[in-house]
Amino acid sequence: MRYLPSSPVEDRALLDTIGVPNAEALLAGIPEPLRLRRELDLPPTGSEQEVFGQMLDLANTNTRFCAQFLGAGAYDHYVPSAIDALCSRQEWFTAYTPYQPEISQGTLQHIFEYQTLICDLTGLEVTNASLYDGGTSCVEAALMAVRVQKKRHTVLVSRGLHPLYRQVLETNFAPHDGLKLVEVGLKDGVTDMADLQAKLNDDVAAVMVGYPNFLGAAEDLTALAGPIHAAGALLVSVTQEAFAFGWFEAPGKAGADMACGEAMSLGNKPNFGGPFLGFLAVKDAHKREIPGRVVGQTKDLEGRTGYVLTLTAREQHIRRDKATSNICSNQGLVALRANIFMQLAGPEGLRGLAEQNAAKAQYLRARLLELPDMEAVPEVPFFNEFVLRYKGDYAALQEACLKEKMLPGLDLGRFYPEYKGCILWCATELHTRQTIESLVEILARVPATV
Amino acid sequence: MFLRQREPLSFDRSVPGKRGMDLPKLDVPAAKDTRPAHLKRSGFDALPELSEVEVIRHFTRLSKWNYGVDDGMYPLGSCTMKHNPRLNEKVAGLRGFTDSHPMAPDAFVQGNLGMLFTLQEWLKEITGLPGVTLQPSAGAAGELTGVMLIRAYHLSKGAKRRVILIPDSGHGTNPATAAMAGYEVVELPSMPDGTISFDDVTDPVNGKVRKGLKTLVSELGSEIAGAMITNPNTIGVFEYRFKEISDLLHSVDALVYMDGANMNALVGVARPGDFGVDVMHLNLHKTMSTPHGGGGPGAGPVCCAEKLIPFLPVPVILRDTEKVGEGEVPRHTYRMEWNRPQSIGKVHSFYGNFGILVRALTYCLSHGGDGLKTATLRAIVNANYIRTRLKGSYALHIDSPSLHEVVFSDTNQAKHDVHTLDIAKRLIDHGYHPPTIYFPLIVPGALMIEPTESEDKGELDAFCDTMLQIAKEAEENPDLLHQAPVLAPLRRMDETTAARKPILRWTKQL
């Protein structure tokens, strides 16, 4: 087996030094009856050529689309070549969590820079080395809000949050008898202010709002912050499309106390949903309650600037059952991709990409609305996703698109019965005018259903 | 070895007007601005302005301050730092995988679903457990999922249980997980070899009695939801009374969770499903060689017994086989099943760290069943070789047979006022990444060494020679160790000030 370096002669020498006749003799500590008395019923060793062939077959079995008009939490953006090239350096991708700072300054300085940039994007003061994904970042944010807001046990969740994130929240809140998740409804595509006000009380620790929300709409964080703060609750913004940070105001500057969500858009492909990049940024006052790894700047013995993992008294390896979270491994390499992406883009690149995304989505929307079966829903400021009502049959539309290797927008009825017949469309900088025109042509040919 | 030159923060290098990214020409009308004034993005304070050249050099230089698996042995115990095959990286980068959208209809991602299904089948055979979810993103996420399955199991029987038992030798994630799943943690005392004590243990120092497993089970009984047990334990010793432990717990319908962090010692040799485990996680970034990435992404699939399958997270990946004529190859189609009324729900936004799962299956197919077992045996031989060569100079924590890792303590060196941290830092000067230190907590000054199967005799000897030299240095010139490292880019860091006056991001100097 090519990954196992010892030769038979070397093996013999190792066993002789240990003083056992064979490797099996070293299994003495495993009681006989608990051992597997047969070989694993699995195929034998595969050569690189054979395995590559098998995996390539699987990859090729997926349909390759020429354009995807689907976002819904996984966005297709262009990934600069420098990212793959840099991340394939073994010093980055094979290294462990930087427990030994003297030989991990690369990773540590990168995380410090990454933390700086996530704070910049969100307009907040403290963040960590990353969380798993958007859904679990909501869980960590909600649990943190409850810790910070002692004696408050309810978290209000806007129905505009990604429906799968809400499911992850529900799963993780279920075991906590004392804690409650309460949904706040939508009105005209954004959080219903009247419903919110009716549900705010002195048990509410935080309110979580999509920014932009799942329907693509910009929630007015500033307007929401008023009543939320008046009720003593924290406003948590949840962003599933990080490119929106180049278009809409930083949540921390618009009234949010915490910002969490998904940053896969910064340098990653959709990858069937993972590995993605969860983030959570908070105010300085709350830094000792943040979950996960945090890197800080310090000096070495000779006074030279360097970086270390810090505030570890919050973490599982020190505090065990009193830790702020159980998280240990996070999404380090994905955070590196995001860091490189942000540094390549710079302020002008990020703003420019955001403008292009907004322009493409607006153009797509305008062109789709020229089709007789597409209807506007009340328009709210959106970024690169928007909802249209479709009078035709979604299945027929989907079939027509797929036949032409185009992935259409999401059938919203799947998650929102009240939006049955509506489609969530997405366009990014990758969509040329030509692909948008092709989509419109395909849709124009879909037979009307009676 | 390391780049000696200092690399400044990129923010300090930023020069207005530089660009590292050119945008495509906009071929549609510019965006109309419909944003209310207060929601328009204001300025950025930190995003640097750099050219592509500078960004590439920055991250290349920074990388040279890291130690990676290809630099040499990385003996972190419990972390299983094995070789990261390049084939796995190449496969994970295939556009058929990377471009696929998680919300695409099942019919168009049959390759992905087939990949996930196949990996599940491998993990079932390896663990001897019939249920699998690949959703958890890391070991700790797997633990949480597993413990929530236990909770759902008891709730389905109309009972809510209060307590999870965890040995004091366990990973910190275990108690942290139990707390996140709403349980109270009761600590199980362990014996010197890290195995769970059935009997009460009297602390030799303060005379306090700690209740053993038998007492706890008889006193707490049906309040116990389960126990989280690392096997082999964090000393590298197989929990040899595992069957008795699981029988005792099962007698009160408590379930057995196995922390699979050390599964690299068992693959092909013993299966948790065969020795009484109800639910466990695997760390694919340990056992299945997926790269650690400087802290992730990992993958922590959960495998479980039949009785827990109804509670697995949604969606579950299923295979349908079309009936075909005699002699023909059966046609399989795969689908995601979302409607599972007893499911605990979702534990990841989508289906887990898919790209990592692709790498893990590639590792499995490369090894094959035979190669997986050989890898296990080699890992055990390598650890025992280090144990044999070093035990004269470093104090072995215990004498029982250990499997894939070996734990020493610093008692021999402490006589010269040299401690574990000094030994670890001196290893850096000799060109190695240090082993895991001060863990498990039950071993004073622990040095936990796990060579994995990826080292040949030459590498093992070089490492052992170095460790022996350090032991000699400790006797003859302890200051050399106290000062270490001196050859790394930086000396020891002031961690106290870092925590007391935290600087957690760069800010513009005004």
Q: What is the pLDDT of residues A319-349, one digit of tens each?
A: 888 888 999 999 999 999 999 999 999 999 9
Task: Give the one of B19, B175, B504 whose C-beta lies nearest to A320's C-beta.
Answer: B175
The reply to whether A72 falls in a domain is yes
What dihedral do alpha carbons B266, B271, B277, B280 form, nearest 10°? Answer: 60
Instruction: Report yes or no: B144 at the A interface, CB cutoff 8 Å.
Output: yes
Q: Chain B contacts of A221, Cβ < 8 Å? A: 39
Top CATH class of B90-365 equals alpha beta
- To the nearest whole Å, the CA of A385 is away from the closest chain B CA by 13
Q: Mind listing the pLDDT tens digit for each residue in B219-240?
A: 999 999 999 999 999 999 999 9
**CATH number of the domain encompassing residue A427:** 3.90.1150.10
**3-class SS of residue B221:** helix
Report the largest interatomic distance among the alpha carbons of chain B, rounded to a whole angstrom: 80
Domain final residue pick, A316, A341, A366 = A341
**CATH number of the domain encompassing residue A207:** 3.40.640.10
Instruction: Report yes or no: A241 at the B interface, CB cutoff 8 Å.
Output: no
Q: Chain B contacts of A316, Cβ < 8 Å? A: 140, 171-173, 175-176
Q: Chain A contacts of B62, Cβ < 8 Å? A: 105-106, 109-110
Q: How confident is the model at residue B4 (pLDDT cuts 50, 70, 90)?
A: low
- To the nearest whole Å, the CA of B97 is away from the closest chain A CA by 5
Q: Where are the domains of chain B?
A: 90-365, 369-488
Q: Chain A contacts of B50, Cβ < 8 Å? A: 343-344, 346
Report the distance separating Cα B419 and Cα B501, nearest Å.
27
Provide the pLDDT for residue A41: 98
Instruction: Report yes or no: A98 at the B interface, CB cutoff 8 Å.
Output: yes
- To the nearest whole Å, the CA of B411 is away from the closest chain A CA by 22
Provide the pLDDT for residue B327: 82
Q: What does the block give as tokens for B466?
A: 């170095």
Are A325 and A351 members of one domain?
no
The reply to whether A8 falls in a domain is no
The reply to whether A273 falls in a domain is yes
**3-class SS of residue B299:** coil
The reply to whether A36 falls in a domain is no
Whether the CB-CB separation of A166 and A155 falls below 8 Å is answered with no
Q: What does the block give as tokens for A450?
A: 């009676």
Percent of chain A with pLDDT over 90: 93
Q: Mind listing the pLDDT tens digit for each residue in B304-335?
A: 999 999 999 999 999 999 888 888 888 899 99
Whole-structure pTM over 0.90, yes or no? yes
Report the largest interatomic distance among the alpha carbons of chain A, rounded to a whole angstrom: 83
ipTM of the complex: 0.97
Are A205 and A131 members of one domain?
yes
CB contact under 8 A, B373 and A39: yes
Task: Give the one of A50, A222, A334 whose C-beta lies nearest to B38's C-beta.
Answer: A222
CB contact under 8 A, B112 and A58: yes
Are A355 and A281 members of one domain?
no
Instruction: Report yes or no: B334 at the A interface, CB cutoff 8 Å.
Output: no
- How many CB pairs below 8 A link A and B? 705
Are A254 and A106 members of one domain?
yes
Report the distance separating Cα B357 and Cα B112, nearest Å.
10
Q: Chain B contacts of A27, Cβ < 8 Å? A: 269, 380, 403
- Closest chain A residue by Cα to residue B277: A34
Report the distance separating Cα B474 and Cα B414, nearest Å.
9
Instruction: Report yes or no: A21 at the B interface, CB cutoff 8 Å.
Output: no
Range of the domain at A395: 67-76+347-445
Q: Mind listing the pLDDT tens digit for each residue in B385-420?
A: 999 999 999 999 888 888 999 999 999 999 999 999
Provide the pLDDT for residue A321: 87
Whether the CB-CB separation of A69 and A439 falls below 8 Å is answered with yes
Are A353 and A291 members of one domain?
no
Asked if residue A199 has pLDDT above 70, the reply is yes
Number of structural domains chain A divides into? 2
Are A303 and A389 members of one domain?
no
Q: What does the block give as tokens for B495?
A: 């961690």
Q: Mind listing the pLDDT tens digit for each residue in A25-40?
A: 999 999 999 999 999 9
Are A298 and A373 members of one domain?
no
Report the CATH architecture of B369-488.
Alpha-Beta Complex (3.90)
Are A304 and A395 members of one domain?
no
Provide the pLDDT for residue A259: 98
CB contact under 8 A, A274 and B350: yes
Are A234 and A305 members of one domain?
yes
Asked if residue B136 has pLDDT above 60, the reply is yes
Are A291 and A417 members of one domain?
no
Q: How confident is the model at residue B2 (pLDDT cuts 50, 70, 90)?
A: low
- Closest chain A residue by Cα to residue B269: A36
- Closest chain B residue by Cα to residue A110: B62
Residues 238-267 of B with CB under 8 A from A: 238, 240, 242-243
Instruction: Report yes or no: A395 at the B interface, CB cutoff 8 Å.
Output: no
Asked if residue A450 has pLDDT above 80, the reply is no
Report the distance separating Cα A266 and Cα A104, nearest Å.
24
Place of tokens 């432990």: B245
Report the distance separating Cα B50 and Cα B63, nearest Å.
18
Are A333 and A351 members of one domain?
no
Q: Chain A contacts of B99, Cβ < 8 Å? A: 64-65, 76, 269-270
Q: Mind listing the pLDDT tens digit for each residue in B151-205?
A: 999 999 999 999 999 999 899 999 999 999 999 999 999 988 889 999 999 988 8
CA angle B303, A325, A250 (to 5 degrees): 115
Are A335 and A354 members of one domain?
no
Task: Give the one of B28, B52, B355 whose C-beta lies nearest to A274's C-beta.
Answer: B355
